[in-house]
Structure 1
Amino acid sequence: MHIVESRWRLFGHILMTDIDIPANKAMQAYFNQMACSSRRRPTTTLPVIIIKELSQAYPHMKLKTLYDLETMRLLAQDRNKWRMLTRRIAEFSEATDFTGSI
């Protein structure tokens, strides 16, 4: 649970920072590339893990496009909402042992 929570806290911290930092530019490039790429076998990368954790805890939320990334960025601006999201994802991960299956 600690790893999952730390990963999401870092993700939120990055989303709250200036859009011109390298981490935000890399995320934008990743999600822009996802929109343009053809279907292929997904590799296990940090964005893939985050997307899986989000979809497991919140099936109605998605993180596949730049629009979804912007939605997450807006959500991260409210620290209380982000903290609740992070806590729920970590708790769900622990309950389903999601981290052990990757």
Structure 2
Amino acid sequence: MVKSRWRLFGHILRRDNDIPANRAMQAYFKTLPTKFRGRPSTTLPIILNKELSQAFPQMKLKTTKDLQNLQSFAQDRGNWKSLTGRITEFARASSSDEFDAGSS
């Protein structure tokens, strides 16, 4: 699931900025949600940021500038493929660690 999500995200980032998916991402970061009480939101940008920052602590997806940086990074398919590979490996290792801890 993680690999598919990141492959699709890279495909979207390489496309024109006028497609609905890119416009929705840009609109999301322009109107960042304010803090509120209750359960934290589970949106696609939040999930992507969590996976990205776990595998690459220096990289984030929290602002429009971060989105633009990822768009330029995604233009090189080789770099994007290595980024998604590392994110996928990290997610797989994290999920197996959680499974091992739960079965003890």
Relative to the length of structure 1, the TM-score reads 0.88
Distance 2:53 2:35 in 1: 19
Identity of aligned residues (%): 59
Structure 2: gaps spanning 5 or more residues: 99-104
Deviation at 1:39, TM superposition (A): 2.0
Deviation at 1:46, TM superposition (A): 1.2
Q: 2:31 aligns with which of 33, 50, 53?
A: 33
Q: 1:89 aligns with which of 75, 87, 90?
A: 87
Which residues in structure 2 correspond to 1:49-68 (within 5 Å)? 49-68=47-66
How many residues end up aligned between the 2 structures? 96
Match of 1:48 in 2: 46
Greater relative contact order, per chain length (Cα 8 Å cut-off, separation 6+): 1
The structure number with the bigger radius of gyration is: 2
Structure 1: gaps spanning 5 or more residues: none
Match of 2:102 in 1: none
Distance 1:70 1:97 in 2: 29
| RMSD, aligned CA | 1.7
Secondary structure of 1:47's counterpart equals helix
Distance 1:76 1:42 in 2: 28
Q: 1:74 aligns with which of 72, 95, 98?
A: 72
Distance 2:83 2:40 in 1: 25
